[in-house]
Amino acid sequence: MADESPTIPPERALDVCIQLARARTAGVIARWLLHDAAAPAQVLALLPDMLEQADGTLDEQARGMLVTSTRRLGESLELLDRWLRHPASEPSVEPLDVPEAIGEVAQLWHRRRAPPDLRLEPPDGALPLARAPRPHVAFALLNLLLNARETLGDADRPEVRLRARADGDSVLVEVEDDGPGVAPEVLPRLFEPFVSSRLDRPVAGLGLFAARHLLRSTGGDLRHERPAGGGARFVLMLPRWGR
């Protein structure tokens, strides 16, 4: 009997891989933010009972708790909308403030309230604007952070360091950790699709492939380096705006 399983035309395979990687990242973000929104939502759900027990008048502590919960819930929903909104078309290439883009990713990461810690190392002086779509850079950084989280596992005080610097006609963004590093047998195929040490989650092996492709589509790149002290370092290379 002929194999009747659906096939993907070669010209669409790349798009399908990228969409799968984006969907995985979006799912992870949604879980973070929905978990973050759960606690303030529970507090607000108790408001009717709190009012009834207080005869319609809340004390200062209760009012402060409600204000804090409302603000936190609003922030989570705003982030959820910003990060998961699907653009009607591919984002345009505009001048990118790299520290600002890094800060947005860090804000999202810190809402996880779970290891590994993310340490932002300030650049030496002002950085030039980069030429790169903000969503592409955010996608690449988030996938590198997700990979670092899985690599570090149960390490004692796990930490990921993120820094940016100018280098000639490029702005470099480095993501570095102190984990075991990339296995030697994986290195030659590191940026190929479906390459992952997680055999139970093969889609996880699409992140680096998709991130590099998206960056290269607008003149950037993504490379891997092995720090002298061990671990792994990934470098986003973004062209300077106007060059």
Position 174 pLDDT exceeds 90: yes
Q: What is the mean pLDDT of residues 47-54?
A: 70
Band of the pLDDT at 203, cuts 50, 70, 90? very low
User: What is the per-residue pLDDT across 127-165, written as a single tens digit (0 to 9) for each?
Assistant: 999 999 988 999 999 989 988 888 887 667 788 999 999
Burial label for 70, CB within 10 Å (0-12, 13-18, 19+), is middle
Q: What are the extents of the domains in the chain? A: 12-84, 95-239
Q: What is the mean pLDDT of residues 23-41?
A: 74
Position 46 pLDDT exceeds 50: yes
More confident residue, 129 or 62: 129
At 117, the amino acid letter reads D
Question: Quick check: helix, strand or coil at residue 88?
Answer: coil
Which pLDDT score, from 0 to 100, does residue 9 have?
55
User: What is the per-residue pLDDT across 69-105, written as a single tens digit (0 to 9) for each?
Assistant: 777 777 777 767 766 665 545 778 889 999 999 998 9
Cis-peptide into 116, omega within 30 deg: yes
User: What is the per-residue pLDDT across 120-129, written as a single tens digit (0 to 9) for each?
Assistant: 999 988 999 9
Q: What is the dihedral of CA 140, 142, 145, 149, to 10 degrees?
A: -130
Which pLDDT score, from 0 to 100, does residue 191 have?
87
- Domain 95-239 coded CATH 3.40.50.720: no
Burial label for 120, CB within 10 Å (0-12, 13-18, 19+), is middle
Per-chain mean pLDDT for the chain = 80
Band of the pLDDT at 68, cuts 50, 70, 90? confident
Residue 209 half-sphere exposure toward CB, CA atoms < 13 A: 22
pTM score of the predicted model: 0.73
Which pLDDT score, from 0 to 100, does residue 45 have?
76
At 206, the amino acid letter reads L
Sheet containing 117-121: give its strands across. Answer: 117-121, 159-167, 170-177, 232-239, 221-225
DSSP code, position 85: P
Distance of CA 152 to the CA centre of its chain: 16
